[in-house]
Amino acid sequence: MNTTTSKPKLGRSARRAVLVVHVTASASWLGLTLGLLALGTTAATTGSAATVEASVRAMLLFADWLLLPVALLTLLSGLVLALGTPWGLARHRWVVTKFWLTLATTAATAFALRPGVRAAVTAVAAGGPLPDAGDVLFGPVVSLSAYVFMTAISVLKPWGPTRRGRRLRARTRGASTAA
């Protein structure tokens, strides 16, 4: 059977369920990032050592217990949707862009944001000042920008199909006119 003309692998109910999971996880990631930004801003701008410590400790809780699982759920549910629906993973530029940005922000969460927050907590807990406001502000600002951008392209679906998407569309049209 020609895979370009076959139906999507996910049925309607499964597709809708995965879509709800994906949108919920994505919105959660966005909300957590807004929370991190508020806590990071508080830590970077307050004059109170106790408030700085409370803020970075709260950030660490978000980073250790919530961010990575939500990021991975967003990535996984997005992959399931891409591979199980007509959108495909490499058929439309906006899907490819979202995939790579989600992968990059997930990696940044694991390998940059979490260690930066952990370093800030260690320094503040030892009685020192916040070592670098960038450790608690840069990650949330970059992440928030990426999530807003990904939300916009999910709604607008710009840029059209990829080269592969155009080839698959042409084959599908050719197969349907030949039938």
What is the pLDDT at residue 168? 80
Per the CB < 8 A criterion, the answer to whether 59 and 39 are in contact is yes
Bridge partners (DSSP) of residue 92 are 161
Other Cβ atoms less than 10 A from the Cβ of 64: the count is 13
* Residue 1 pLDDT greater than 50, yes or no: no
Assign 178 a pLDDT band (cuts: 50, 70, 90).
low
CA distance 102 to 124: 31
Q: Express each pLDDT in 159-172 by its tens digit.
A: 988 888 888 878 87
The SS3 assignment for 92 reads strand
* Residue 77 pLDDT greater than 90, yes or no: yes
Q: Express each pLDDT in 113-152 by its tens digit.
A: 999 999 999 999 999 999 988 889 999 999 999 999 999 9
What is the pLDDT at residue 155? 94
What is the pLDDT at residue 134? 86
What is the pLDDT at residue 86? 84
Close Cβ partners of 122 (under 8 Å, ≥ 6 residues apart): none
Looking up tokens 């940059």 gives 112
**Which sign does the torsion angle of CA 101, 103, 106, 110 carry?**
negative
Q: Which is more confident, 173 or 40?
A: 40
135: Cα separation from own chain's centroid:
19
Question: What is the DSSP secondary-structure string of 100-169?
Answer: HHHHHHHHHIIIIIHHHHHHHHHHHHTT---S-HHHHHHHHHHHHHHHHHHHHHHHH--S-B-HHHHHHH
